Amino acid sequence: NAGVTQTPKFRVLKTGQSMTLLCAQDMNHEYMYWYRQDPGMGLRLIHYSVGEGTTAKGEVPDGYNVSRLKKQNFLLGLESAAPSQTSVYFCASSAFFSGKGNEQFFGPGTRLTVL
Amino acid sequence: GEDVEQSLFLSVREGDSSVINCTYTDSSSTYLYWYKQEPGAGLQLLTYIFSNMDMKQDQRLTVLLNKKDKHLSLRIADTQTGDSAIYFCAESPNILTGGGNKLTFGTGTQLKVEL
């Protein structure tokens, strides 16, 4: 049981390049999330999904797209990377109901640098 | 919208108690959480409290909730060097109102434990 995994762990892009971050969970969770973490700003929600085939915007969606074609996977895309997207990206998942409120399980993060 | 605030840094000596504070604005919060982030890792749920409780104790951890002042605190007794991490306060609304179990995170408090 790997929990939540993220690929890749590190990436350096040039401005204007595109990339996709992959998140996978093996807990059969309905909900999945993408956050970015920046110093002094905590975690901010980019996009989330309440089930296979659904996506919704979070707090900071601009410049990102997502897809959830399979229940266990949630992809985050950057079509044209900008230096402002330099950040650490975390994926998380949660069950519809759990014994600990809305507990979310986090992946280890992807550190992205855009030059 | 919801807002969660924390101080950015706290330094304590090993063996002392640590108290990390958090204020939130959403009075409809049903659960409030403390997550821990160790260096280079994702967040892990440390403890949580349901909104109808005033206090929750779990081994060295004590959570106090003042709903009137919308204030949440985390006390770590006998703080150890292994407690050095970033601690995030988070809140979530009533899960029955929909929204995919979204959490709103604070900025995080960096706890440094000195020998």
Q: Are residues B42 and B22 in contact, defined by beta-carbon separation less than 8 angstroms?
A: no
* Cβ separation B102–A94 shorter than 8 A: no
Nearest chain B residue to A31, by CA:
B100
Q: Which of residues 45-74 of A touch B (CB under 8 A)?
A: 45, 48-50, 56, 58
Q: How far is CA B32 from the centre of its chain?
A: 8
Question: Band of the pLDDT at B2, cuts 50, 70, 90?
Answer: low
At residue B27, the pLDDT reads 75
Q: What is the pLDDT of residues A64-77, one digit of tens each?
A: 999 999 999 999 99
At residue B51, the pLDDT reads 84
For B68, residues 6+ apart whose C-beta sits below 8 A from its C-beta are none
The span from the CA of B102 to the CA of B114, in Å, is 35
Nearest chain B residue to A43, by CA:
B105
At residue B26, the pLDDT reads 79
pLDDT of B37 higher than 90? yes
Calculate what percentage of chain B has a pLDDT beyond 90.
67
At residue B30, the pLDDT reads 78
pLDDT, averaged per 10 consecutive residues of chain A (115 residues), comes to 92 96 96 93 92 93 96 96 97 82 89 97
At residue B100, the pLDDT reads 58
**Average pLDDT value over all residues in chain B:** 89
